[in-house]
Amino acid sequence: MDDMVKAALAKWPNVPDCYGWLGLDARGQWFMRDDRTQAAGPFAGAGASPQSKGSLLRHDKLIDFIGRNYEADAQGQWFFQNGPQRVYVELEHTPWVWRVDDEGRLQSHTGRPALPQAVFVDEAGHVLIATDLGPGLVHTQDVWRAAEQIEQGRWPEPSELPAAELATRFGFVPSPAAARQST
């Protein structure tokens, strides 16, 4: 976490949390979701639409800032610590999206390196990897690289994991906004 974010937290410890305004898609892209976008439906899952996804963030420094300050709370809800305010993230699929380089190294959508621990495939053919950072989806452009690592014995053989069991198995909350409304 950035030092300036830690200082803001210390100075203003009681800023209300923010829900529904930031989304992470299955390709590791961040989306801002204003009131109108949120009213159009959820970010992902049943009822989601192109109108409910939001605006793709393209500002590199903002994207890097979000990535450096992206974490999970004790309940498995992922958030971006924006100064003193915690902005909870709506997840289209998983909290991490993995890129695989030519050497088989994993890097998250935020640029963090990760070590594969287990590989899974869901019923749609998505390749999911549990790592030292947590679970993530392999970016669609890198599935072939993941397959090479498995075929060459560098990564574990994949197991089947139904998509509906993913969040429960790995203890993350896909929609903190929906979880908040149900309590």
Residue 5 has pLDDT above 90, yes or no: no
Range of the domain at 153: 96-159
Say if residue 51 is in the same domain as residue 116. no
For the cut 80, the answer to whether the pLDDT of residue 4 exceeds it is: no
Q: Are residues 81 and 150 in the same domain?
A: no
DSSP string, 162-178: -HHHHHHHHT-BS-HHH
Judge whether 20 and 38 are in contact, CB under 8 Å. yes
At residue 105, the pLDDT reads 96
Does residue 56 register a pLDDT over 90?
Answer: yes
- Asked whether residue 33 is assigned to any structural domain, the reply reads yes
| 39 in a structural domain | yes
Residue 1 — pLDDT band, cuts 50, 70, 90?
Answer: confident
Does residue 102 lie within any of the structural domains? yes
Residues 116-138, mean pLDDT to the nearest whole number:
97
Q: Are residues 123 and 109 in the same domain?
A: yes
Based on the domain organization, do 119 and 42 belong to the same domain? no
Q: What is the C-alpha separation between 175 and 172, in angstroms, rounded? A: 9
The tally of CA atoms less than 13 A away on the side-chain side of residue 168 is 5
How confident is the model at residue 13, as a pLDDT? 72
> Is a pLDDT exceeding 90 seen at residue 3?
no
Task: Check residue 2 and give its pLDDT.
Answer: 79
Query: What share of the chain in percent tops pLDDT 90?
Result: 87
Do residues 60 and 107 both lie within one domain? no
For residue 29, being part of any structural domain is answered with yes
State residue 162's pLDDT score: 97
Answering whether pTM is above 0.75, one says: yes
Burial of 29 (0-12, 13-18, 19+ CB in 10 A): middle
Residues 10 and 87 in one domain: yes
Secondary structure (3-state) at 5: helix
DSSP per-residue letters across 27-95: TS-EEE--HHHHHT--SSSTT--HHHH-EEP--HHHHHHHHHTEEE-TTSBEEEEETTEEEEEEESS-S
CATH code assigned at 62 = 3.10.540.10
Answer whether residue 65 is part of any domain: yes
Is pLDDT above 80 for 28?
Answer: yes
Same domain, 87 and 7: yes
> Residue 166: its pLDDT value, please?
96
pLDDT at residue 169 tops 80: yes
What is the number of structural domains in the chain? Answer: 2
